[in-house]
Structure 1
């Protein structure tokens, strides 16, 4: 199938497919007689794998590692488990950062009294150094 058909079948954008080829996540596509890229079922499966990994928040390097793990039948599930656990720890850390950010935004919003821009506590808080706002136990 042509790249537009591969995009439809995989859910990836055309430019994303080309990018994945450039960085080596997807093998270079074969070419038809008229020079069009040609993709097969294995390419679509790989694109779906990459897209699902990205949807789950894995970086491109992590997806590359997962692809290598998936293609090496001699590796144990433990290797995949270690990568997934590491990613879970990263996700939890980001969630904690986002929760701190939400709490800070709630505090700043609550202190805003709708006055003039020059008196805006939200803008003045954003001008403060981060260390001045961050609790010491972080």
Structure 2
């Protein structure tokens, strides 16, 4: 199938397909005599896997590693479980950092909302921050 057909089947753009090919996430594809890419049907499943992996927050490098395990003929289940465990740890850390940031911003906002601009110290850019 041509690139446009593969992109439409995977609900992606042709630009994304070319990018994934350049990044080594898709194997080199056969080219027709006219130079068009001719993707095999299994490309769609691979692209859908890439999309699901990105939704889960995996990096392209992590996705590439999983695909390499599969391409070597092995089931990547253990590797995927480890990647997802690392992703959960990263997400928990980001959530903790965002929770702390939100608390700080809420404190600043409360002070600013109760402030009086007439009392502003001209020597400071803004006394609320």
Task: Place the TM-score, normalised by the shorter chain, in its bin.
Answer: 0.7 to 0.9
What is the TM-score of this pair, normalised by structure 1?
0.74
CA distance in 2, matches of 1:76, 1:20: 19
Is residue 95 of structure 2 the alignment partner of residue 98 of structure 1? no
- Which of 1 and 2 has greater Rg? 2
1:1-138 to 2 correspondences below 5 Å: 1-74=1-74, 77-113=77-113, 115=117, 118-119=125-126, 121=128, 125=129
| Count of residue pairs brought into register by the alignment | 122
Greater relative contact order structure (CA < 8 Å, 6+ sep): 2
TM-score (norm 2): 0.79
Unaligned runs of 5+ in 2: none
Counterpart CA distance in 2 for 1:76 and 1:9 is 24
Against the structure 1 CA distance between its residues 33 and 62, is the aligned structure 2 distance closer, same or farther, given a 3 Å change threshold?
Answer: same
- RMSD over aligned CA atoms reads 2.3
**Structure 1 unaligned regions, length at least 5:** 126-138
